[in-house]
């Protein structure tokens, strides 16, 4: 076919292991949360929260994003993935690294397991960055999506590098400033630089496509790109040089403006949409974009830490982190799984039968009913869990964790239903 | 550009075949979606389809391409099938048929 780059998608064996590992990690994440109610009451810098956060950000979030990017970059940017074998090696190293890292955080063994886990994860992330860099280099017509993807990859590298230094610093102190400062920098480079920029770059292409929305103002995304990057750089330099947070609110202004420009772009897509009914994937995504407002509110409140009681500050920071990881990132991934995974599996199973026999639609590969219950339990879990942190009540937090676990079980059932789908052409 | 009004019988057959090709994401056929710009057939050059997609870089492009070619190969064995995707003129909602609009919930 002239005009589109056919046969660009990588083989399913590159992409699917990422989805399997991520789905299982999400389940483990919810079990760890359910078993750690107390950890969401005290200070945010605790071994269990480190284990939970890294299960979420690496095992769940980054792993599924790696797989999705290998699949989507060829489609979005019209190029073939640089090296599929490298992607498979990256997956194996990353999986081993994450398991070691999370285990060592959970038992807080700062010895070999933690350093080996962090080193393996770092190597895997470097290999991922290399693969993406050499893939993107082949683009003939540079796009804004490519800007977002490339920049987010660079921020991911920085996140991993800081994380690696921190784990070695646990063993033998060589960094000048406190761990809390590096943790703050590490977390924000990861959340804003890696996750947020990548999500904006990919979602700004996919969401309007799924909604069938056209005539959107892409200039908003362009301004958003510069606002977020400049804001993040200024914020990091300020934190590192001044090691206080008094003026943090000034440097987050461009980031907040950038996020609102992106949300306004999505709102325009929603209003211009031709596809009126929202499927389960888009409903999940919509909720994720609403939850980001809570992340913004709690993040802005945390900027004024000197004026807030320390216990309350810890609660606000926990709500901030939880709403980003379990709300924004997880909500979006839960939704987009239903938009990407069925199609990937469907293409893999039915490509040779297309045109020869009638085939099911990708959305028929999973149970809509299970997906709906997953969404309902996820919403209930989010409300109860955030409330529990806000009122510092362990029972409420555990109750929220329980619903989250139910949601993760339902998600896993559907993911494995898709993965083990048996080819069944309609007669 | 063929408006289908002056189509020969083979082109009408091609049109009918394309009406059975669904966009996998939407479950609506590509004719009702207005993705087909031109259909031409001659015994000398074979079948030529000029079409578009709702969005540039649509991941469904590969699947639609495969299904069109396979179905046309079955219906017109021996003839060359050439498929060209163009982005100008850009696809707009006005191209969706009445049936397509009902399926999308617009009407």
Quote the pLDDT of residue A307. 80
Higher pLDDT, A217 or A31: A31
Q: How far is B69 from chain A (nearest CA, A)?
A: 8
Q: Which residue of A has its CA nearest to B20?
A: A355
**How much is the average pLDDT of A204-229?**
93
CB-side neighbour CA atoms (13 Å) of B81 = 19
Q: Which residue of A has its CA nearest to B70?
A: A355
For B51, other C-beta atoms within 10 Å of its C-beta total 24
Q: Number of A to B CB contacts under 8 A, please give it.
A: 91
Quote the pLDDT of residue B1. 43
Interface test with A, best of B17, B20, B25, B51 (most A CBs within 10 A): B25
Q: A330-350 and A394-419 are packed helices; what angle lies between their axes, rounded to 10 degrees?
A: 10
Taking only residues 1 to 20 of chain B, the set having a beta carbon closer than 8 angstroms to any beta carbon of chain A reads none
Written as tens digits, the pLDDT of chain B (107 aa) is 444 555 578 888 999 999 999 998 888 999 999 999 999 988 888 999 999 998 877 778 888 998 999 999 988 888 889 999 998 888 988 899 999 999 888 77
For the ranges A70-79, A126-135, A268-277, B95-104, the one whose mean pLDDT is highest: A126-135
Q: Where does the pLDDT of residue A410 fall: very low under 50, low under 70, confident under 90, or very high at 90 and above?
A: very high
Query: Taking Cα atoms as reference points, which of A120, A113, A115, A119 lies closest to residue A96?
Result: A120
CA-to-CA distance for A88 and A244, rounded, in angstroms?
42
Quote the pLDDT of residue A7. 60
Q: A234, exposed or middle or buried, with CB in 10 Å at 0-12, 13-18, 19+?
A: middle
Point out which residues pair with B48 in neighbouring strands. B40, B82
Of B24, B53, B84, the CB nearest to A2: B84
DSSP 8-state assignment for residue A421: P
Does position A8 have pLDDT exceeding 80, yes or no? no
Q: What is the mean pLDDT of chain A?
A: 92
B85 touches B76 (CB < 8 A): no
Interface test with B, best of A212, A272, A278, A340 (most B CBs within 10 A): A212
Quote the pLDDT of residue A425. 56
Which residues from B are below 8 Å from A209, CB to CB? 54-55, 58
Q: How far is CA A392 from CA A243, A291, A375, A401, in A?
A: 29, 20, 25, 14
**How much is the average pLDDT of A298-318?**
87
Of B61, B67, B92, the CB nearest to A214: B92
How confident is the model over A187-196, as pLDDT tens digits?
999 999 999 9
CA-to-CA distance for B30 and A304, rounded, in angstroms?
55
Q: How far is A364 from chain B (nearest CA, A)?
A: 10
How confident is the model over A165-179, as pLDDT tens digits?
999 998 888 888 888
Quote the pLDDT of residue A426. 57
**How much is the average pLDDT of A402-425?**
93
DSSP 8-state assignment for residue A423: P
Q: How far is B40 from chain A (nearest CA, A)?
A: 16
Indicate the Cα dihedral angle A399, A400, A405, A411, nearest 10°. Answer: 140
Quote the pLDDT of residue A2. 45
Quote the pLDDT of residue A4. 45
For the ranges A175-184, A335-344, B83-92, the one whose mean pLDDT is highest: A335-344
Least confident of A75-79, A200-204, A320-324: A75-79
Quote the pLDDT of residue A276. 82
Does position A245 have pLDDT exceeding 80, yes or no? no
Quote the pLDDT of residue A75. 78
Residues of A with CB under 8 A from a CB of B: 1-4, 6-9, 71-72, 75-78, 205, 208-210, 212, 214, 274-277, 343, 346-347, 351, 354-356, 361-363
Q: How far is CA A324 from CA A156, A196, A341, B39, in A?
A: 17, 10, 23, 50
DSSP chain B: ---STT--HHHHHHHHHHTTPEETTTTEETTTTT-EEEEEEETTTEEEEEE--SSTT-TTHHHHHHHHHHHHHHHSTTS-EEEEE--SSPP-GGGS-HHHHHHHT--
Does position A303 have pLDDT exceeding 90, yes or no? no
* Residue found by looking up tokens 């994003």 in the block: A65
Which residues from A are below 8 Å from B62, CB to CB? 4, 6-9, 347, 351
Point out which residues pair with A2 in neighbouring strands. B84
DSSP 8-state assignment for residue A35: T
CA-to-CA distance for A55 and A205, rounded, in angstroms?
28
Q: How far is B82 from chain A (nearest CA, A)?
A: 7
């Amino acid at each position: 076919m002239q005009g589109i780059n056919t046969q660009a998608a990588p083989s399913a064996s590159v992409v699917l292991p990422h989805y399997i590992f991520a789905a299982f990690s999400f389940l483990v994440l919810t079990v760890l949360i359910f078993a750690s109610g107390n950890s969401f009451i005290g200070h945010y810098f605790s071994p269990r929260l480190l284990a939970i956060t890294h299960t979420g950000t690496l095992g769940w979030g980054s792993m599924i994003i790696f797989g999705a990017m290998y699949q989507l970059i060829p489609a979005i940017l019209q190029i073939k993935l640089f090296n599929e074998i490298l992607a498979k090696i990256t997956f194996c190293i990353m999986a081993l690294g994450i398991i070691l890292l999370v285990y060592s955080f959970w038992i807080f063994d700062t010895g070999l397991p933690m350093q080996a886990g962090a080193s393996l994860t770092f190597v895997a992330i470097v290999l991922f960055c290399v693969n993406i860099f050499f893939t993107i280099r082949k683009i003939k017509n540079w796009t804004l999506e490519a800007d977002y993807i490339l920049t987010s990859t660079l921020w991911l590298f920085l996140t991993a590098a800081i994380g690696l230094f921190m784990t070695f610093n646990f063993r033998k102190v060589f960094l000048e400033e406190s761990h809390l400062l590096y943790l703050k920098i590490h977390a924000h480079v990861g959340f804003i630089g890696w996750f947020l920029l990548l999500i904006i770059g990919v979602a700004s292409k996919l969401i309007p496509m799924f909604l069938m929305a056209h005539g959107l103002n892409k200039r908003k995304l362009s301004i958003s790109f510069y606002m977020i990057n400049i804001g993040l750089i200024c914020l990091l330099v300020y934190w590192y040089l001044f090691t206080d947070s008094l003026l943090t609110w000034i440097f987050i202004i461009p980031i907040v403006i950038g996020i609102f420009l992106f949300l306004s772009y999505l709102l325009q897509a929603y209003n211009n949409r031709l596809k009126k009914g929202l499927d389960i994937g888009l409903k999940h995504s919509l909720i994720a974009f609403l939850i980001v407002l809570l992340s913004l509110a709690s993040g802005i409140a945390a900027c004024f830490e000197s004026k807030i009681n320390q216990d309350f500050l810890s609660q606000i920071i926990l709500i901030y982190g939880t709403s980003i990881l379990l709300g924004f990132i997880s909500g979006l991934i839960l939704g987009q799984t239903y938009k990407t995974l069925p199609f990937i599996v469907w293409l893999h199973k039915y490509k040779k039968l297309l045109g020869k026999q009638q085939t099911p639609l990708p959305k028929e590969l999973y149970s809509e009913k299970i997906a709906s219950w997953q969404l309902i339990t996820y919403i209930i879990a989010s409300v109860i869990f955030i409330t529990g942190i806000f009122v510092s009540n362990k029972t409420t937090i555990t109750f929220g964790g329980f619903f989250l676990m139910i949601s993760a079980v339902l998600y896993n059932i559907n993911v494995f239903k898709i993965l083990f789908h048996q080819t069944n052409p309609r007669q | 550009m063929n408006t289908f009004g002056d189509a020969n019988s083979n082109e009408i057959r091609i049109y009918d075949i394309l009406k059975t090709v669904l966009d996998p994401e939407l479950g609506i056929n590509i004719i009702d979606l207005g993705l087909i710009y031109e259909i031409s057939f001659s015994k000398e050059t074979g079948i030529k389809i000029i079409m578009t997609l709702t969005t540039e870089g649509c991941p469904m492009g590969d699947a639609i391409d495969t299904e069109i070619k396979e179905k046309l190969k079955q219906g017109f064995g021996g003839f060359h099938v050439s498929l060209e995707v163009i982005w100008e003129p850009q696809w707009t909602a006005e191209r969706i048929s009445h049936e397509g609009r009902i399926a999308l919930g617009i009407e």
